[in-house]
Amino acid sequence: MSVRTTASETARPVAPSRGALRPLSLAEVRIDGGFWADMQSLNASAIIDHCETWMEKVGWIGNFDAAVEGRLLSDRHGREFSDSDVYKLLEAMAWEVGRTQDERLDARLRALVARIEPAQEADGYLNTKFGRPGQQPRYSDLQWGHELYCYGHLLQAAVARGRTAGDDPLVQIARRAADHLCEVFGQGGIESVCGHPEVEMALVEFGRYTGESRYIDQARLFIDRRGKGTLGDIELGQSYYQDETPVRDAEVLRGHAVRAVYLAAGAVDLGIEDNDAALVSAVAAQLKRTIARRTYLTGGMGAHHEGESFGADFELPSDRAYSETCAGIGSIMLNYRLLLATGDEHYADLIERTLFNVVATSPAADGHAFYYTNTLHQREPGSTPSLDEPSPRASSSLRAPWYDVSCCPTNVARTLATLGPYFATSTENGLQLHQYGSGEVSASLNGGTVAVRVETNYPSDGEIRLTVTETLDDEWDLSVRVPGWAREGAQLHVGGEIQEVAPGIASVRRVFNIGDQIVLTIPMAARWTTPDPRIDALRGQRAVERGPVVMCLESTDVPFASNVDELRATGELVDIDGVVTVGVRHMVAWEEAWPYGVEAAEISPETQRVTLLPYHSWANRGPSSMRVWLPMVGDTPSA
């Protein structure tokens, strides 16, 4: 088959049948300059190749060959869910081919699909871990087996392929698998769910893509069955896989963070297709409380290493932040769905925060190593992981090239490949920009097509210049998001007029001419941020943010101290064209035999200035200590 010359206008990651905002496609939103264009280039030039190379090396792709050749019993590699990472790679490749029409990448995608296809069994079953003679039987371990989770990623890869290139063997594999799934888990079938949610949103999207309601019906069965204890109890508790409380009855996201956000995203998808406002608003309320009480400054989610799970409300320790990259990505998927459903820009605010401070933090500057967990406080300089072996620990202190459990790199790859649609949406009469980067945005409104050229150095500076390049004879709305953190000072320049704009949506409605400009200016100067006093782990500390970017202090930038924990911030903060420095004092001769009952910390009277670094850039210069939240001098007894 040939690759299309332009990305299809159907190439959108989700396509809800109703909602306040319409999603745009890869063809309609193209990012071509600045921070996210660079990240997309890194994905194209390094990350996707890296994921494929490693999955060949560790044998996860080879498992499909072994299945066909009958070698699986003695020659299977990776964990029970390793198939899913091959599918996530396929999804990344499919979006990337759709975005760039890269024919060599398309050929690699087709070659991979050709290795997977013969491993599928006659009835549609596809999994390299279960079901063959000598292996555990199919669906004998729904708690931990991840079989339906793997189908979910297969279906999402097929949706990406179908929407960018049309029906092809990957779509056909997915259709056989989805039909099998409906057969086995449908009415009268196995009345259970998968321990790891994911298939729910995939089934809804596959139903949207194919136009067949049976897949959405199956998603509904899974959503409705969950929370009734079907999976049984485990050491981590049933909340680990969200099976202790029905989705509609829960008050907050809890348990394993990735599972929680994937399930919630699937519930929103189902609620939209069923026109079930109660289900959508139940999830929205759970997310609202989760954002208010269980989310890190970075947008990261998950405060427990045990169970990779959410902690209690306000339990957000920096040094034990799990904040898995995949949980951040799942949060973006969930927030995007609710943005589309409601038009509420608070969701776009959290998407921005999570993109800049979780997604952008995961890959190393060269795209060849990744964070799985994203701590906000590295107490001791770590050691460089092996470049040749997968890291056995998710919580590696420096980015590792691969992990025994390597869900995050492929998740980053598929997210970056399909980033454009997260930046802008449309309505019948308007175009809305939610995220900023240089590029082109177009949309079909009721009266025809409109288009805007965006020029900006965001987030280095806060000027976003929109030029209308295609317009209508009639009035239409051009809207921009004023970020929630820009509490004052944002301005909209329209023609010769300047107006102050508050966080949320700022809209201009008029008859636009080609060449008309609107300029949004957002004050970007670095600012201090204080935590909710109920977050005990942060009491007495403040963080610095610059625009949407969370800053950190890395020991690499502090030659006079051996560890950032020896420093106390004075509150002085200077931002000169994005070079952000803070005043600090050094704790001297701080040695106690017993770390309690201490009356005074000796702190140097001299203030020194240290430079802060965007958190997403840390740990690119070798082992270091690092912290986002800085203890303040005023909180130390002797100061």
Summarize as ranges the residues that interact with Zn ion (CB under 5 A): 324, 326, 407-408
Q: DSSP code of 364?
A: -
Q: How far is the CB of 359 from Zn ion (least distance, A)?
A: 12
Tell me the closest approach of the beta carbon of residue 305 to Zn ion, in angstroms.
13
Strands 549-554 vs 626-627: parallel, antiparallel or unpaired: antiparallel
Least separation in angstroms between residue 437's CB and Zn ion is 25
233 contact partners, CB below 8 Å, separation of at least 6: none
Distance in Å, CB of 408 to Zn ion, minimum: 4
Phi then psi for residue 52, to 5 deg, are -65, -45
Element at 582 (helix H, strand E) = strand 579-586
- Residue 401: CB minimum distance to Zn ion, A: 15
Q: Which is nearer to Zn ion, 39 or 257 (CB)?
A: 257
Residue type, 174: A
Nearer to Zn ion, 373 or 418 (CB): 373
* Nearest to Zn ion of 88, 353 (CB atom): 88
Nearer to Zn ion, 26 or 408 (CB): 408
Closest CB to Zn ion among residues 87, 185: 87
User: What is the CB neighbour count within 10 angstroms for residue 305?
Assistant: 13
DSSP reduced 3-state for 514: coil
Q: Which is nearer to Zn ion, 308 or 352 (CB)?
A: 308
- Using CB atoms, what's the residue nearest to Zn ion? 326
Number of alpha carbons in the 13 Å side-chain half-sphere of residue 361: 32
Give every CB contact of residue 579 below 8 A, 6+ residues apart in sequence. Answer: 611
Q: Are 545 and 529 in contact (CB under 8 A)?
A: yes
DSSP class of residue 274 equals T
- Dihedral, 394, 91, 57, 324 alpha carbons, nearest 10: 0
Of 117, 605, 231, whose CA–CA distance to 241 is shortest?
Answer: 231
Q: Strand ranges (DSSP E) for 247-404?
A: 377-378
Nearest CB to Zn ion, comparing residues 279 and 408: 408
Of 125, 108, 114, 87, the residue nearest 169 (C-alpha): 114
Distance CA 418, CA 429 (A): 25
In the complex, what is the shortest distance from the CB of residue 411 to Zn ion, in angstroms, rounded to a whole number?
Answer: 6
Nearer to Zn ion, 551 or 619 (CB): 619
Residue 406 Cβ, how far from Zn ion at the closest point, in Å?
Answer: 8
